[in-house]
């Protein structure tokens, strides 16, 4: 935007300066040319008067002396002829018989008005011929032709044009400086607002911008800060409510668990089915409370990391060995995968990610748990880890039934579960927790199924993805009906 505004202002400035400079250059040249014509016309008038006197008296001595002195002084040839076109005076090597001179003489003897002289330019070098009839009224007694040099006039025009162009350049520089100042004055607050909006979109509810620029933008910045404060306060209250509710419900839930466990031995056989149903519901409620409390804690940490406040340096700049974390998670889930009839594979390359080790372990635990749980017996789950440029990419691939496009869009929504999985264990908070952890570290979580790709931003693309190329390097590509979940985190450099 800054470039477009600058280009528009500079184009307008150039046009405005050019609209002022071009006519000024033309008028300067025309004025100096007119001065030359006036000066030489005065000389021609004086010679014409002397020529008329010489024709009347028959004595051309004075005329000849004046013309010769003029040519000697100014170096400009003069030709004077009588009414019969006979030369009276010829100086400076110019002759009345020359075609151009003869043409001017004919026109002057016929008393025809001379054509106006075109404005001279700094590069004009060709001398000009001026003619004037001698005599009074309609009686023409001769003609005077003068060859005027334009070099001095052209040099004077060049000097004046240099001053005009210098002033034009100064005006152009002033316009450029003014355009830069105005653009910065107007656009800098807009960039601040853009940065604030992006921060709010990224989850930083307490983002603030500096008020500056025109009054309208200062007012807009103030209103944005008020909105940001309100969003931050509402978000904090929401997180605190979830955390408080989850924490306060844990005590009565623990008491209820003790009572149900105590009743287990006293329940008759006829009530065992109901007892197991109550126990299952209680386990689901306990898991839900644990996940809600975990989600509140994750959101609180992600908000603090994004805002860069109330975070220890070790936590904010945490770095972990992503390959080692992936290996540990595969080892931890291998037994559960075998019980579920799922083959668990590992393909990793060394990579350091900017993320706390416990957070990455929790994220991978959620993804591997979902893959083992929903891929189905006989499926294969592969965990991959590799670095590509400045990104560490961890991929969990399975060849199970996958998810539809509608399910992909809803997968990271809180408490959402697919209809076909309603009967399995889970709260629908695993992926939201993982996604919030990843985004808090400046990364992203991505899902893809059946050739489609879905990111947490909700956009779909059909083109091949980098993780597909990584998968091909590690081994066979995933089944078209499978599910691929990709976690991308900023990479860290190895320090020695």
Write out pLDDT tens, residues 192-218. 888 888 877 766 666 778 888 888 888
- Residue 101's nearest CA partner among 137, 77, 135, 70 is 77
For the chain, give percent helix, strand, coil, nearest 5.
60, 15, 25
What confidence category does residue 420 fall into, taking pLDDT thresholds of 50, 70 and 90?
Answer: low
CATH code for position 271: 1.10.287.130
Burial bucket for residue 163 (CB in 10 Å: 0-12, 13-18, 19+): exposed
**In angstroms, rounded to a whole number, what is the distance separating the alpha carbons of residues 325 and 354?**
13
Same domain, 22 and 114: yes
**In angstroms, rounded to a whole number, what is the distance separating the alpha carbons of residues 381 and 365?**
13
Angle between helices 430-440 and 272-307 (to 10 degrees): 10
Per-residue model confidence (pLDDT) at position 71: 92
pLDDT reading at 242 higher than 80: no
In a domain, 179, yes or no: no
pLDDT reading at 250 higher than 80: no
CATH code for position 95: 3.30.450.20
pLDDT tens digits, one per residue of 138-190: 788 899 999 999 999 999 999 999 999 999 899 888 988 888 888 888 888 88
Among residues 278, 307, 336, the one where a domain terminates is 307
Among residues 275, 307, 339, the one where a domain terminates is 307
Please name the residues in contact with 208: beta carbons below 8 A apart, sequence gap of 6 or more.
Answer: 196, 225, 228, 229
Question: When comparing pLDDT for 472 and 390, which is higher?
Answer: 390
For residue 451 the two structure tokens come to 């050739």
**In angstroms, rounded to a whole number, what is the distance separating the alpha carbons of residues 213 and 190?**
9
Among residues 156, 182, 198, the one where a domain terminates is 156
Same domain, 38 and 110: yes
Per-residue model confidence (pLDDT) at position 312: 57
**In angstroms, rounded to a whole number, what is the distance separating the alpha carbons of residues 326 and 321?**
9
Same domain, 301 and 228: yes
**In angstroms, rounded to a whole number, what is the distance separating the alpha carbons of residues 95 and 85?**
12
Same domain, 369 and 269: no
Q: Which of 26-30, 280-284, 399-403, 474-478 has the highest mean pLDDT?
A: 26-30
Q: How far, rounded to the nearest angstrom, does the alpha carbon of residue 30 sit from its chain's CA centroid?
A: 47
Same domain, 296 and 336: no
Average pLDDT value for the chain: 81
Per-residue model confidence (pLDDT) at position 459: 38
Neighbours of 22 (CB within 10 A): 12
**Number of domains composing the chain:** 3
In a domain, 199, yes or no: no
- Going by their DSSP bridges, the two strands 128-136 and 139-148 should be labelled as antiparallel
Q: Which helix (H) or strand (E) holds 135?
A: strand 128-136
pLDDT tens digits, one per residue of 260-285: 888 877 888 888 888 888 887 777 77
pLDDT tens digits, one per residue of 80-125: 999 888 999 999 899 999 999 999 999 988 888 878 889 999 998 8
- Phi, then psi, of 441 in degrees rounded to 5: -95, 15
**In angstroms, rounded to a whole number, what is the distance separating the alpha carbons of residues 138 and 442?**
99
Percent over 90 (pLDDT), the chain: 24
pLDDT tens digits, one per residue of 430-456: 788 888 888 878 888 888 874 544 444
Same domain, 286 and 339: no
Per-residue model confidence (pLDDT) at position 95: 92
Same domain, 77 and 116: yes
CATH code for position 430: 3.30.565.10
Which pTM was predicted? 0.49
Per-residue model confidence (pLDDT) at position 87: 92
pLDDT tens digits, one per residue of 371-380: 888 888 888 9
**In angstroms, rounded to a whole number, what is the distance separating the alpha carbons of residues 36 and 27?**
14
- State the residue range of the domain holding 287: 215-307
Q: What is the mean pLDDT of residues 313-333?
A: 84
**In angstroms, rounded to a whole number, what is the distance separating the alpha carbons of residues 274 and 403?**
34
In a domain, 495, yes or no: no
Please name the residues in contact with 101: beta carbons below 8 A apart, sequence gap of 6 or more.
Answer: 79, 94, 95, 129, 145
**In angstroms, rounded to a whole number, what is the distance separating the alpha carbons of residues 220 and 192?**
11
Same domain, 291 and 374: no
Which range has the worst mean pLDDT, 32-36, 168-172, 417-421? 417-421
Same domain, 257 and 336: no
Q: Which helix (H) or strand (E) holds 191?
A: helix 151-201
In a domain, 269, yes or no: yes
- Residue 434's nearest CA partner among 303, 298, 315, 343 is 298
Same domain, 297 and 335: no
How many CA atoms lie less than 13 Å away from 261 in the CB half-sphere? 7
């Amino acid at each position: 935007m800054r470039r477009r505004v600058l280009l528009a202002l500079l184009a307008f400035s150039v046009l405005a300066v050019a609209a002022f400079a071009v006519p000024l250059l033309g008028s300067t040249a025309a004025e100096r040319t007119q001065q030359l014509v006036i000066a030489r016309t005065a000389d021609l008038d004086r010679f014409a008067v002397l020529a008329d006197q010489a024709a009347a008296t028959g004595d051309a001595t004075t005329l000849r002396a004046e013309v010769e002195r003029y040519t000697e002084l100014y170096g400009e040839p003069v030709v004077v002829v009588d009414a019969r076109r006979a030369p009276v005076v010829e100086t400076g090597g110019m002759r009345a018989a020359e075609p151009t001179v003869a043409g001017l003489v004919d026109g002057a003897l016929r008393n025809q008005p001379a054509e106006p002289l075109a404005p001279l330019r700094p590069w004009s070098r060709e001398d000009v011929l001026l003619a004037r009839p001698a005599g009074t009224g309609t009686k023409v007694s001769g003609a005077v032709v003068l060859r005027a040099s334009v070099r001095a006039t052209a040099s004077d025009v060049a000097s004046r044009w240099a001053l005009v162009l210098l002033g034009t350049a100064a005006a152009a520089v002033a316009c450029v400086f003014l355009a830069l100042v105005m653009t910065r004055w107007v656009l800098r607050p807009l960039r601040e607002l853009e940065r604030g909006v992006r921060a709010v979109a990224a989850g930083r509810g307490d983002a603030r911008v500096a008020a500056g620029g025109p009054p309208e933008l200062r007012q807009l910045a103030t209103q944005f800060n008020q909105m940001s404060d309100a969003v931050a306060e509402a978000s904090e209250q929401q997180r605190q409510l979830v955390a408080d509710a989850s924490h306060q419900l844990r005590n009565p839930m623990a008491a209820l668990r003790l009572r149900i466990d105590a009743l287990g031995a006293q329940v008759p056989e006829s009530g065992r089915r109901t007892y197991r149903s109550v126990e299952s519901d209680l386990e689901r409620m306990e898991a839900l409370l644990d996940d809600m409390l975990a989600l509140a804690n994750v959101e609180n940490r992600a908000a603090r990391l994004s805002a860069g406040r109330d975070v220890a340096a070790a936590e904010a700049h945490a770095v972990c060995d992503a390959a080692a974390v992936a290996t540990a998670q595969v080892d931890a889930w291998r037994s559960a995968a075998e019980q579920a009839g799922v083959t668990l594979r590992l393909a990793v390359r060394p990579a350091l990610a900017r993320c706390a080790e416990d957070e990455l372990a929790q994220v991978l635990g959620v993804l591997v748990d979902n893959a083992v749980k929903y891929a189905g017996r006989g499926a294969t789950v592969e965990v991959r880890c590799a670095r590509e440029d400045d990104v560490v990419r961890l991929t969990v691939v399975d060849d199970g039934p996958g998810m539809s496009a509608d399910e992909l869009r809803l997968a990271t929504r809180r408490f959402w579960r697919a209809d076909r999985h309603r009967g399995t264990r889970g709260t629908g908070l695993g992926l939201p927790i993982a996604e919030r952890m990843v985004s808090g570290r400046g990364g992203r979580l991505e899902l893809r199924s059946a050739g489609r790709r879905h990111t947490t931003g909700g956009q779909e693309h059909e083109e091949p993805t980098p993780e597909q190329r990584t998968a091909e390097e590690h081994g066979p590509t995933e089944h078209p009906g499978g599910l691929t979940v990709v976690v991308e985190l900023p990479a860290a450099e190895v320090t020695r």
